[in-house]
Amino acid sequence: MTEETKPFEPVIIGFTCNWCSYRAADMAGTARIKYAPNIRLIRLMCSGRLDPTFVFKAFAGGADAVLISGCHPGDCHYVEQNYKAMRRFHLLKRVLVQMGVEPGRLKLLWASAAEGAIFAAEINKFVEEVRALGPLNWAQPGEQVSTPIMEEVTA
Amino acid sequence: MSERIGVYVCHCGTNIAGIVDVADVSKWAGEKLADKGVVIARDYKFMCSSLGQELIQKDIKEQKLTRVVVAACSPHLHEKTFRNACKGAGLNPYLCELVSIREQDSWVHTDKVAATAKAKAIVSGGVARVIHHEALEPLRVPIHPDTLVVGGGIAGIQAALEIADAGFRVYLVEREPSIGGHMAQFDKTFPTLDCSACILTPKMVDVGNHPNITLLTWSEVQKVDGYVGNFAVTIKKKPRYIKTEDCTGCGICWEKCPKKVIDNVFEAGMGNRKAVYVPFPQAVPKYPVIDDVNCTYYLKGTCKACEKFCPTNAIDFNQKAEEITVQVGNIILATGYDLFDARRIPQYGYGKLANVFTNLEFERLCNAAGPTGGNIVLRDGKTAPKTVGIVHCVGSRDKNYNAYCSAICCMQSLKFAHLVRERTGAEVYNFYIDIRTPSKGYEEFYQRLLEEGTRFVRGKVAEVTSVARIPEEEGKLIIQVEDTLIGKQRRIPVDMVVLSSGMQSRHDSKDVAKLFGISCSADNWFIERHPKLDPVATMTDGIYIAGCVQGPKDIPASVVQGAAAAARVLGKIQQKEIALEPVRATINQDQCSGCRICNNLCPFNAILFHEDKMVSEVNPALCQGCGTCVAGCPAGAISGTGFSNEQILSQIDGLLLLNISHAAVPVE
């Protein structure tokens, strides 16, 4: 297969929390549930640790999309810190839109330690969504940013 | 480049090497990551073996490594192993990073090229991250020697007694007025047919009398603060309306109480109790409880018969709920299970057809202390059944309800069949999908039942109905079933049907899990730290689980888990202090602007604000290390050990070094 005919393979950086979503990823592994190899995970102690800088850094470094995942609302190991991740997620989406990045390139996923299958399925879904969006193309200096329409955020 | 990094890629037999080209990954790391400081990269069959560990240790000494990256399984499995290996060779354990190329790569991908490229990316991320690791020392905190056990069933009783017998204080909290749990409701226990009460009550009495056990029945845990070694637990003692210091348990109050109430808890709705009651004669503690929902005095403002007749003036209608806080070092959760509600399967007729019973109702029917004095009779209270049908797997092994096997129902149904034949001589039909009798003496019991002449029909019951089609079926309950061994539909008329309802997690198990900061499975059973190797610990240090709260199991298995959890707790107590992960936030006071944004972000109130200096400070004993404040600080003044900005940002860079979008074939 030549370079041109190869389908676009997005690279996704995924942030997981130590207690739920990283364990969900482990669970998917132990159960040998297959999913697309396009995601590379980073373990944080809590989704609340997610500094918005991390997301920008990932996009700047060449990631086509970023996944933020944590415990389900109400199940946070640190009481309520996943709500702070959720707040940052919504703000990040708005900021990314202003930078010309499609909001669909950032995804929030709640996954409990038991939800390996869901975690894997959601990653597959996300990879296909990002594949449809194509590679992340930053606006060149001087280029007019065509701001994508902000979709209704329902996370 | 000052760091000297060693990279170790594990084959894990074929677990990793079957999908990931491990030799290629290690060769690539040695060449392409040399500029990052990688001085040695090796792959080995089993890195976690002692030989694998020695390999790392030898390199640390000979190659003077200052950082180690191991690419193997999940850090939840072997992080400690490799940290200890490094420590053994004189390298600070926190300078080692374990990255997962098994659970997150080889086990979940099938494309070997992509999986190998991803493994390289993961190793690259680990190398970039480990450069910014710091030598850390674990925080040492003392362990409070007292233990909280929640749930007074057989698992909780066993755990409490083991710990108390070893000489340490136990607080045993039970929601109901007495300990004993489900086991106290049973008549006989399989396969030995021991009388349940006869073997349980001595243990209950031991709990009640034990100098090291503080028994808190009719109580519930409200709040849990702190962390392993130092929990502060708030317990609500519901009002008994009885002065326990004066009560002798003589029983005159419940004799004189005029108000009868259907006992839906202990008697499973089969019998009555009074408004002031002990749930059963052997209850521990012996003190009764006034049920303020049904008591005539609370409903109408008059009566007080119990107070009038109490010989020791122990009744106190003005008692209020009381909250106490206890300090404990470890917690064992043994809160048990709920029975599957057979009403959810309407075609089995429970609740509509009088002579369809649940297993718990049948237990009470058999029990000598139960509503019929142990006579197995129909709902009319006098007619003995001539034929009995026992339906296995009610609500279990059924994707419409619970997909799992409840583990105990086969043996329980066999026990019922034996008791029916022994006491009434009735014909018994067992309707089963498969017979599962895997423990000591269980299969032998099944063989005994076969010899006793109990009938077995292999097939899932479709319906229980009272609608007769032929004269022989008139006045009977007809069980419609496909007998899969003869391949025919059968209609079997019986007088009584017993539904072996499966076990399910407690209705409030999610709330309890949240209260104690642990996780639930999809079926809401509590998740153990490792399903095989660490079955009673949880991911939250200091919280252990025992008995059916972890999943369906029988009495012997619950006792084993109660004892196992106790052994784990005793081990912790003996250590006297515990090493905590040094993942903590610290504030650089020179950079702190005193904006106090972090103060409100912390759920543990671990951040103090110094009014005089106008700066905030983290209390390391209260900080749990979530890192939310680190992410929230607008001045970048807070750093999080183990998960610093430099570490995460470098890891992102490292992970993106190999970009599979530009080449499905790894970049050479």
**Could you write out the DSSP letters of every residue in chain A?**
--TTTSPP---EEEEEETTTHHHHHHHHHHTT----TTEEEEEES-GGG--HHHHHHHHHHT-SEEEEEEPPTT--TTTTHHHHHHHHHHHHHHHHHHTT--GGGEEEEE--TT-HHHHHHHHHHHHHHHHHH-S--PPPTTPPP-PPPPPPP--
Shared domain for B342 and B486, answered yes or no, is yes
What CATH number does residue B405 fall under?
Answer: 3.50.50.60
* Closest chain B C-alpha to A153 CA, distance in angstroms: 22
Tell me whether residues B109 and A52 touch, CB distance under 8 A.
no
Nearest to B549 by CA among B578, B510, B586: B510
* Closest chain B C-alpha to A46 CA, distance in angstroms: 5
Tell me whether residues B522 and A25 touch, CB distance under 8 A.
no
Nearest to B171 by CA among B206, B215, B205: B215
Q: CB contact, 8 Å: A134 with chain B?
A: no
Q: CB contact, 8 Å: B209 with chain A?
A: no
Shared domain for B369 and B297, answered yes or no, is no
Q: CB contact, 8 Å: A153 with chain B?
A: no
Shared domain for B315 and B365, answered yes or no, is no
B contacts of A33 (beta carbons < 8 Å): 108
Asked, for residue B493, whether it belongs to a domain, the answer is yes
**What tokens were used for B412?**
């329980």
According to the model, what pLDDT value does residue B435 have? Answer: 96
B330 to A8, A98, B47, B143, B170: CA distances (angstroms): 52, 50, 33, 8, 10
Asked, for residue B301, whether it belongs to a domain, the answer is yes
According to the model, what pLDDT value does residue B661 have? Answer: 42
If DSSP codes are grouped into helix, strand and coil, which group holds residue B276?
Answer: strand
Last residue of a domain, one of B463, B487, B504: B504
**Could you write out the DSSP letters of every residue in B586-655?**
EE-TTT-----HHHHH-TT--EEEETTTTEEEE-TTT-----HHHHH-TT--EEETTS-HHHHHHHHHHH
Shared domain for B390 and B500, answered yes or no, is yes
What CATH number does residue B89 fall under?
Answer: 3.40.50
According to the model, what pLDDT value does residue A149 have? Answer: 57
According to the model, what pLDDT value does residue A139 have? Answer: 64
Q: Please, which residues have CB within 8 angstroms of residue A73's CB and are 6 or more apart in sequence?
A: A82, A83, A86, A110
A5 to A9, A104, A131, B376: CA distances (angstroms): 12, 25, 14, 76
Q: Please, which residues have CB within 8 angstroms of residue A84's CB and are 6 or more apart in sequence?
A: A47, A48, B601, B628, B631, B632
Last residue of a domain, one of B89, B106, B136: B136
Centroid of chain to Cα B174? 16
Beta-bridge partner residues of B477: B494
* Containing structural domain, residue B600: 585-641
Total number of domains constituting chain B = 4
Residue owning tokens 């192993």: B81
**Could you write out the DSSP letters of every residue in B372-386?**
TTT----TTSSPPPS
Shared domain for B390 and B457, answered yes or no, is yes
In chain A, the residue whose alpha carbon lies closest to the alpha carbon of B623 is A78
Chain B interface test: which of A4, A26, A54 (most B C-beta within 10 Å): A26
Nearest to A44 among B521, B624, B627 (CB): B627
According to the model, what pLDDT value does residue B325 have? Answer: 97
According to the model, what pLDDT value does residue B67 have? Answer: 97
- Sites in chain B below the pLDDT cut of 50: 660-668
For residues B569 and B566, give the distance between their C-alpha atoms in angstroms, rounded to a whole number.
5
Question: Splitting chain A (155 residues) into consecutive groups of 10 residues, what average pLDDT does each group show?
Answer: 69 95 95 96 96 95 95 86 94 91 95 94 97 83 61 49
Q: CB contact, 8 Å: B622 with chain A?
A: no
Nearest to A78 among B110, B624, B643 (CB): B624
Centroid of chain to Cα B102? 27
Asked, for residue B156, whether it belongs to a domain, the answer is no
B666 to A23, A38, B97: CA distances (angstroms): 28, 13, 23
B166 to B149, B160, B229, B537, B570: CA distances (angstroms): 15, 10, 18, 20, 8
Tell me whether residues B108 and A53 touch, CB distance under 8 A.
no
Asked, for residue B252, whether it belongs to a domain, the answer is yes
Chain B interface test: which of A23, A43, A76 (most B C-beta within 10 Å): A43
According to the model, what pLDDT value does residue A4 have? Answer: 56
Residue owning tokens 């009550």: B201
Asked, for residue B82, whether it belongs to a domain, the answer is yes
Shared domain for B291 and B345, answered yes or no, is no
Chain A interface test: which of B108, B404, B648, B653 (most A C-beta within 10 Å): B108
B contacts of A49 (beta carbons < 8 Å): 626-628, 630-631, 640, 643
Shared domain for B307 and B356, answered yes or no, is no
CB neighbour class for B302 (10 Å; exposed up to 12, middle 13-18, buried from 19): exposed
**CB-side neighbour CA atoms (13 Å) of B181:** 29
For residues B483 and B173, give the distance between their C-alpha atoms in angstroms, rounded to a whole number.
47
Tell me whether residues B643 and A49 touch, CB distance under 8 A.
yes
A contacts of B525 (beta carbons < 8 Å): none
According to the model, what pLDDT value does residue B664 have? Answer: 41
According to the model, what pLDDT value does residue B620 have? Answer: 84
Tell me whether residues A45 and B583 touch, CB distance under 8 A.
yes
pTM: 0.85
Last residue of a domain, one of B320, B346, B378: B320
A contacts of B119 (beta carbons < 8 Å): none
* Closest chain A C-alpha to B628 CA, distance in angstroms: 4
C-alpha Rg value of chain A to the nearest Å: 16
Shared domain for B342 and B310, answered yes or no, is no
Asked, for residue B404, whether it belongs to a domain, the answer is yes
* Closest chain A C-alpha to B121 CA, distance in angstroms: 8
pLDDT in tens, B377-402: 999 999 999 999 999 999 999 999 99
Q: Please, which residues have CB within 8 angstroms of residue B31's CB and are 6 or more apart in sequence?
A: none
A contacts of B118 (beta carbons < 8 Å): 37, 40
Q: CB contact, 8 Å: B515 with chain A?
A: no
Nearest to B626 among A8, A45, A61 (CB): A45
Shared domain for B628 and B486, answered yes or no, is no
What CATH number does residue B618 fall under?
Answer: 3.30.70.20
Contact map slice: A 69-98 vs B, CB within 8 A: 74-75, 77-81, 84, 88
According to the model, what pLDDT value does residue A155 have? Answer: 43
Question: What domains appear along chain A, each with residue ranges and CATH number?
Answer: 12-154 (3.40.50)
A contacts of B121 (beta carbons < 8 Å): 40
Asked, for residue B593, whether it belongs to a domain, the answer is yes
